[in-house]
Amino acid sequence: MTNCKRSVPNLVTHSLARRLQTLIGLAALLPTGLVWAHAGPLDENGGHYDGQSYHCHMPGCEMPDSFMRGGQDSFFFDPDSRDKFFNEVDWDYKRDYDGDCQSTRHEILAITSRAPVSYTNPRNCEVRLGEWFDEYTGETFTVAAQIDVDHVIPLRYAHNQGGDAWPPEKKLMFANDPVNIMLTERSEIRRKNERGPSRYLPREEYQCDYVRQWQAIAEKYDLRLANADRNRITVILRDCAE
């Protein structure tokens, strides 16, 4: 049971609402039509997605059922079977999408810093120093290299839960959506290890907002959640509302 109990009229609490308002500026900076290019590196299976199809390039490569299954709720849907088809290049958030030389990570570092930021070069491409509050751990950091991007709903999780069949533009939008991105220390990202709420939760004081983010993002992208995660979210939200 969590102790973050308070009355909430909707999915977004005041603290989360303030963060989302801060990110409105960043969302405006990101282009609405992210450009997808043909994937280069192969996935673990020896192939890659190419738009709304999949191409094999290595012996023993198997074809996924991404575009053949009868829907996300198919009786035969098996998230674990999707894992070997995950390819980071399909969910790229490390490129400069708006032509200002900053990747999504550095865009978010710049706009969420509580103090003026300094950069590693005169072009202001990479943030070096600032001040960031880590919602997951409750700690404050001043060196950008100490923290990194965490996707609230991990990219691999989304892929395995039906996102493998998404069009390329939707995958990129999900990976670069500010609402799905948090900055946290690297060791906490390793601790989370792409797990859902049934296996990972941040510090107790942030758990209510965290599972609300999970629920809101899943609804926004029409993403199915694993039963264990959906049940855990329901229990936490019930406790938060008391």
pLDDT in the model for residue 4: 39
CA distance 199 to 232: 9
pLDDT in the model for residue 9: 31
pLDDT in the model for residue 97: 85
Measure Cα distances from 99 to 28, 38, 102, 167 in Å. Answer: 14, 20, 8, 23
Strands laid side by side in the 118-119 sheet = 118-119, 127-133, 140-143
Digit-coded pLDDT (tens) for 70-89: 655 566 688 899 999 999 99
Q: What is the pTM of this model?
A: 0.84
pLDDT in the model for residue 89: 94
Inter-axis angle of helices 207-220 and 14-29, to 10 degrees? 40
Q: Three-state DSSP class for 139? A: coil
CB-based burial label for 224 (10 Å; 0-12, 13-18, 19+): middle
- Given a cut of 70, the residues of the chain with pLDDT beneath it are 1-39, 70-76
CA distance 171 to 163: 7
Q: What angle do CA 132, 155, 47 make, to 5 degrees?
A: 140
pLDDT in the model for residue 14: 43
Q: What angle do CA 53, 157, 153 make, to 5 degrees?
A: 120
Q: Are strands 54-56 and 118-119 parallel, antiparallel or unpaired?
A: unpaired
pLDDT in the model for residue 98: 83
Long-range CB contacts for residues 15-18, cutoff 8 Å, separation at least 24: 15/209, 16/209, 16/212, 16/213
